[in-house]
Chain A
Amino acid sequence: MQIVVVLIGASLLVALGFLAAYLWAVKSGQYDDKYTPSVRILFDENKKPKDTSKK
Chain B
Amino acid sequence: MEQIELQEKTVNKKTACYHCGDECPDDSIQLNEKVFCCNGCKTVFELLDENNLCSYYSIDKNPGATRKYHTKRNYDFLDDTDLRLKLIDFSNDVKTNVTFDIPQMHCSSCIWILENLYNLDGGVISSKVNFLQKKLFVSYLEKTTSLKKIVELLDSIGYEPLLNLEDKKEEKVRSEYKSLYYKIGIAGFCFGNIMLLSFPEYLSIDVAQHDELKKIFAVLNIILSLPVFFYSASDYFISAWKGLRKRIVNIDVPLALGIFVLFIRSVIDITLLNGPGFLDSLAGLIFFLLVGKLFQNKTYETLNFERNYKSYFPIAVTVHKEGKETTIPVEKLTVGERILVRNNELIPADSILIKGNGNIDYSFVTGEAVPVERKNGEMIYAGGKQVGSAIEIETIKEVSQSYLTQLWNSKAFKKEGISEESGITSFSNIVSKYFTFGVIALAVIAGFIWSSNLTLAFNAITAVLIVACPCALALSTPFTMGNTLRIFGKNKLYLKHTHVVESLASIDTIVFDKTGTITENGAANVVFIGRELSNEELTYIKSTVRNSTHPLSLAIFNFIKEEKILVPLRYNEEPAKGIETEFRNATVVRIGSKNFVEAKILDESLTTKVFVSMNDDQPGYFEITNKYREGLGSLMAALENDYSLALLSGDNEGEKENLRKFFGSDNELHFRQSPHDKLKFIEELQSQGKKVLMFGDGLNDAGALKQSNIGLSISDDTNNFSPACDGILDSKSFNRIKDFIAFSKTSKKIIIASFILSFVYNVIGLSFAFTGTLSPLVAAILMPISSISAVVFTTLAVNISAKKKGLL
A residues in contact (CB < 8 Å) with B: 1, 4-5, 8, 11-12, 15-16, 18-19, 22-23, 26-27, 31-36, 39-40, 42-44, 47-51, 55
Q: A36-B111, A47-B55, A49-B119 are in contact. Are A31 and B220 (CB under 8 A)?
A: no
C-alpha gap A26/B178 in the complex (Å) = 7
C-alpha gap A42/B491 in the complex (Å) = 30
B760 at interface, CB cutoff 8 A: no
C-alpha gap A42/B192 in the complex (Å) = 36
B122 at interface, CB cutoff 8 A: yes
A-chain residues with CB within 8 Å of residue B196 when the two chains form the complex: 11
Task: Give the contacting residue for A50; candidates B52, B122, B132, B185; CB below 8 A.
Answer: B52
C-alpha gap A36/B128 in the complex (Å) = 9
A-chain residues with CB within 8 Å of residue B216 when the two chains form the complex: 5, 8
Q: B115–A40 contact, CB under 8 A?
A: yes
Q: B112–A43 contact, CB under 8 A?
A: yes
Shortest Cβ gap from B44 to chain A (Å): 17
Shortest Cβ gap from A32 to chain B (Å): 7
Q: B111–A19 contact, CB under 8 A?
A: no
B-chain residues with CB within 8 Å of residue A12 when the two chains form the complex: 193, 220
Q: A12-B193, A39-B108, A47-B55 are in contact. Are A19 and B220 (CB under 8 A)?
A: no
Shortest Cβ gap from B35 to chain A (Å): 25
Given contacts A5-B216, A48-B119, A49-B119, 18 further A-B contacts (CB under 8 A): A5-B213, A12-B193, A12-B220, A15-B189, A15-B193, A19-B186, A19-B189, A22-B185, A26-B182, A34-B132, A35-B131, A36-B111, A36-B129, A39-B108, A43-B111, A49-B51, A49-B52, A55-B122
Q: A5-B216, A8-B220 are in contact. Are A35 and B189 (CB under 8 A)?
A: no
B-chain residues with CB within 8 Å of residue A34 when the two chains form the complex: 132
Q: B55–A23 contact, CB under 8 A?
A: no
Q: A33–B132 contact, CB under 8 A?
A: yes
B-chain residues with CB within 8 Å of residue A5 when the two chains form the complex: 213, 216
A-chain residues with CB within 8 Å of residue B178 when the two chains form the complex: 26-27, 31-32
Q: A32–B185 contact, CB under 8 A?
A: no
Task: Identify 28 residue pairs between A and B in the complex whose beta-carbon atoms are under 8 Å apart, listed by A's number.
Answer: A5-B213, A5-B216, A8-B197, A11-B196, A12-B220, A15-B192, A19-B186, A22-B185, A23-B182, A23-B186, A26-B181, A26-B185, A27-B178, A31-B181, A32-B130, A33-B131, A33-B132, A34-B132, A35-B132, A36-B129, A39-B111, A40-B111, A42-B108, A43-B59, A47-B52, A48-B119, A49-B51, A49-B52
B210 at interface, CB cutoff 8 A: yes
Q: B213–A36 contact, CB under 8 A?
A: no
B-chain residues with CB within 8 Å of residue A33 when the two chains form the complex: 130-133
B-chain residues with CB within 8 Å of residue A35 when the two chains form the complex: 131-132
Shortest Cβ gap from B490 to chain A (Å): 17
Shortest Cβ gap from B355 to chain A (Å): 46
Task: Give the contacting residue for A36; candidates B55, B132, B189, B212; CB below 8 A.
Answer: B132
B-chain residues with CB within 8 Å of residue A23 when the two chains form the complex: 182, 185-186
Binary interface encoding of chain B residues 172-215 relative to chain A, with 1 for a CB under 8 A from any of its CBs, else 0: 00100010011001100100110011000000000000101100
4 tightest CB-CB pairs across the interface, nearest first? A36-B131, A33-B130, A49-B52, A19-B189
Shortest Cβ gap from A18 to chain B (Å): 8
C-alpha gap A49/B133 in the complex (Å) = 29
Q: A19–B185 contact, CB under 8 A?
A: yes
C-alpha gap A31/B129 in the complex (Å) = 14
A-chain residues with CB within 8 Å of residue B213 when the two chains form the complex: 1, 4-5
C-alpha gap A26/B177 in the complex (Å) = 10
Shortest Cβ gap from B641 to chain A (Å): 43
A-chain residues with CB within 8 Å of residue B108 when the two chains form the complex: 39, 42
A-chain residues with CB within 8 Å of residue B130 when the two chains form the complex: 32-33, 36
